[in-house]
Chains A and B, each alone.
Chain A
């Protein structure tokens, strides 16, 4: 069952191995390099990742535009079934690979500066490399089982990176929460895999294109459960804001650009597997997620949490459009990766600067945007990059975000027949989200870079060069030129890139979007220009009370049940065994009593009787001569009588 379609060149195999294994090499080297050369670690791993990007670019050159091809080897053989591992190349795969390696390399570069003060950054770079390896494995794999393996490994890397700051117990609990929520999704993924496997006998992605089997909707929904966990869809999203405890470059890489995008990527890849019914559910959940994310971002004060919710909202948008146009979602995925990573890196620069300036004041929350203001004068480069990326997020023209969002909305709009149908309502939700996004983006931007200068902020310094370069590159990639030649046209060369459906020019959508964005910006300006710091309801600021819901209705019952089962074990089951044991012992006591008194007793009885008999007959030999004579005579007389008469 090994399918080796026409492989364009032989180097492709080696290239793909290079792409996959160089980050793993980084992981090993980071562990192996000893204490003496620890300054070398960051440089080595960054260099390796840059090499990986180069290899990914070559891979892209080699495989783009060619039909889908697979290279695989058999891995597990049981009975008649073989599970294979291998690489699958098609356009989406190589583009995604390129994006991931590029972002990872930029984050590595950035981290050299960001983690310069941290002496124990060995594990950090090791797991950044490992994460990249796992993510690339996920993208390149040809078999769903292998995808699942890398899916979980990505979660593992995320766990290690979120809990990087070892002495913060909140980081550890955030990591646990992330992993567990991902695991809930993974369970669904696994069940979906099982359904597919038992129905079709194979998990090779290339062989699943034309299948149709009875439980397909269920399988699709189960796999979507996995996507929900990984891509922070409602209701499995509460781990994402908490995951911001990780170092900021990690958030940039994992929780903005790549890992959370893995779910969306999977949907794009397996698009053919989902039935229309499954897509109804998917679209609704995406819509709800988009809306809730945008709402939550509006009321947060933590810099990174705003970005986290924004990520969640954008992911929801991508998922929502999956039914009508996976290509549009994919384009938005790519763009989002770049501008969101840029935003996170900018946030990291700000946090880094705040930290170095305020490291004596522990009480100051460096991530609270209420403590920031007018940073545009202190940190101009950051300001500039941040501005471009925020514009992309908001969907202003001249940015890549604008293009992809418009494509997305066009496709959504094209599928709507009547306004109050399912498509219509989700379309409305999408527009609302598009309206809200610039508002919170503006809010963030305004609070941080404009407004009043707070007391000690004069000492803030711009980020070091090594941190500025990645930010600038990402900002560059957030401009329109990255995806399209004409600012207002949605027939971008990128859409040709992804074989998207192109319309006849129903060009009203870009103009509507621009209008909405500008309106939103104006609304935002008026709402936030005075930086009111009113506190909002708990509902809106604490994950819509989902966390307490989970804690009360899921975690507590589980703990109760597990305590119950433990006591069941200790009291009932063990008591039962002890009862058996005691019964056994009592039975043996009974037997012992029986032995002693009845059996032994009868033996003793006989001995006693013999003794008593002896005592009686002892009188015959009492020591008196005359009694001897008497008895002798008596005996003789009886004897004689017996013989003579009888």
Chain B
């Protein structure tokens, strides 16, 4: 068996990077990319744990589900971003702050 710790480290790294991208990027599409990264990191984690127990297929099957959900979610997300861009004229989430309390 290959040790799975490096895989776990990698997936954690990917997840964190995706999280940071979500927090700090100004463009909505890049935020979606970041979400994709987080999903990929989670996927890698799932597959790595599956590798530790080869007789069960849960990890791989779950990773497949995640990919499908990610695709759907990205499609919907893109559609929303496009509509928002159409309405507000910008894709920067910071500038879409109508719900913010006026100081």
Contacts and interface: CB of A to CB of B under 8 A. Distances in A.
B97 A623 contact: yes
Interface string B26-45: 00000100000000000000
Interface string A606-646: 00000000000010011111100110010000000000000
A623 to B, nearest CB: 2
A616 to B, nearest CB: 13
Interface string B79-103: 0000000000000011011111101
B19 interface: yes
Nearest to B96: A625
B23 A630 contact: yes
B22 interface: yes
- The size bracket of the interface on B is 10 to 19
B97 A624 contact: yes
Nearest to A621: B101
B19 A633 contact: yes
Contacts of B100: 621-624
Contacts of B98: 623
A624 B26 CA distance: 11
B34 to A, nearest CB: 10
Nearest to A626: B23
Contact of A625 (B19, B24, B93): B93
Contacts of A633: 19
- The size bracket of the interface on A is 10 to 19
Contacts of A629: 22-23
A626 B31 contact: yes
Nearest to A618: B101
A626 B101 contact: no
B47 to A, nearest CB: 22
Contacts of B96: 625
A633 B16 CA distance: 11
A644 to B, nearest CB: 15
Contact of B101 (A623, A624, A625, A630): A623
Nearest to A625: B93
Nearest to B103: A618
Contacts of A624: 93-94, 97, 100
Contact of A626 (B24, B99, B103): B24
A115 B9 CA distance: 145
A143 to B, nearest CB: 103
Contact of B22 (A618, A622, A626): A626
A626 B28 CA distance: 10
B19 to A, nearest CB: 7
B81 to A, nearest CB: 12
A505 B19 CA distance: 160
Contacts of A618: 101, 103
Contacts of B99: 623
12 contacts: A618-B101, A618-B103, A622-B97, A623-B101, A624-B93, A624-B97, A624-B100, A626-B22, A626-B23, A626-B31, A626-B94, A629-B22
Closest 3 CB pairs of A and B: A623-B100, A623-B97, A625-B93
Interface of A: 618, 621-626, 629-630, 633
Given A625-B93, A626-B23, 11 more contacts: A618-B101, A622-B97, A623-B99, A624-B93, A624-B97, A625-B96, A626-B22, A626-B31, A626-B94, A629-B23, A630-B23
